[in-house]
Amino acid sequence: MSATVLDGNKIAAEIRAEVASEVEKLMEVGMRPGLAVILVGHNPASEIYVRGKVKSSEEVGIYSEKHTPPENVTTEELLELVIGLNLRDEIDGILVQLPLPPQVDSKKVLMAVDPAKDVDGFHPMNVGFLSTQRPGLVPCTPAGVMEILKRSNVPVAGREAVVVGRSDIVGKPVAMLLINGNATVTVCHSKTHDLPAVCRRADILVAAIGRAGMITADFVKPGATVIDVGMNKVTDPEEFRRLFAGNVKREESFKLKGSTLVGDVHPRVAEVAGAITPVPGGVGPLTIAMLMSNTVRSARLRRGNTVSELSRA
């Protein structure tokens, strides 16, 4: 029996529709949420991501602007740009697209973003709010993982959850969100002893390790829900065969393009799991949908009193 596929595109579309309706209500009281994206230089992958973010903003009615400093920008120049955006009231979200060039102190730049406008949810103040269950901005991908579980009616409270990966961007915040949802959470990493055995305890298994098809069927308890956060490009024919041998459709596409995308979960896990997110089309679409949601949330948190006053007027 094959696992139920949790459709990230469908869930992301639902969230975007809700955000668009929220933006419409805010605009009725004279307030349009605004997002500023900073994209340094010409990294092709970053350019694609930013294009997607700007396009999504337009679709849901959020005002957006793109700042494109040159590749040789200094830390001081970027700090000046961020501080300027912090001071503008019509900008509710500031997003610094990573990676930044080597001469820039990335941590310094990210720390300079006003926590109230930190729609990526990476600022230590927002991390603190998350860990102490106070209202703040939550990292987009982990927030998306929780939306997939909630909207797919996967119970979290009282369940055993295992997170593979401990990054500040996904692993740690998703573990905190699961704890806040009353799951019993284990976080695994490269030093975990007998990783497959630990993963097999999970009712909910979140894979965010960044290694193509690393989580195989022997890591998964039959019937578990598997959330695959990974996005890996496979170009090696041998690696491709390990993952997709016998998948005629994928083989044709691989011959044509010379590459394919795969998550951190081996495709055959679908034969054991109860539910699974596909790659692509699983967690990925949720990341941008949650960025839109965070921008509106930031507008409400920052300008909440103004909204209430305008609503009453």
Q: List the catalytic residue out of 92, 114, 118, 120.
A: 120
CATH 3.40.50.720 positions along the chain are: 140-285
Q: How far is CA 21 from the centre of its chain?
A: 22
pLDDT more than 90, % of the chain: 91
97 is catalytic: yes
The active-site residue out of 97, 118, 221, 264 is: 97
The pLDDT-based confidence of 267 (bands split at 50, 70, 90) is very high
Residues of the chain with CATH 3.40.50.10860: 31-115
Planar angle of CA 297, 96, 111, nearest 5 degrees:
85
Res 306: pLDDT: 56
Distance, in Å, from the CA atom of 57 to the CA atom of 92, rounded to the nearest integer, reads 12
Question: Would you say residue 211 has pLDDT above 60?
Answer: yes
**Cα-Cα-Cα-Cα dihedral sign, residues 254, 256, 258, 261:** negative
Which fold is adopted by the domain 31-115? Rossmann fold (3.40.50)
Active-site annotation holds for 120: yes
Phi-psi region of 230 (alpha: psi -120 to 50; beta: other; left: phi over 0): beta
Query: What is the fold of 140-285?
Result: Rossmann fold (3.40.50)
The residues pairing with 207 across neighbouring beta strands, listed in sequence order, are: 164, 228
pLDDT tens track for 45-82: 889 889 999 999 999 999 999 999 999 999 999 999 99
CA dist 135 and 139 (Å) reads 13
Structure tokens, 159: 């369940």
Residue 309's pLDDT band, with cuts at 50, 70 and 90, is very low
Active-site pick, 53, 117, 172, 221: 53
What pLDDT does residue 305 have?
A: 59
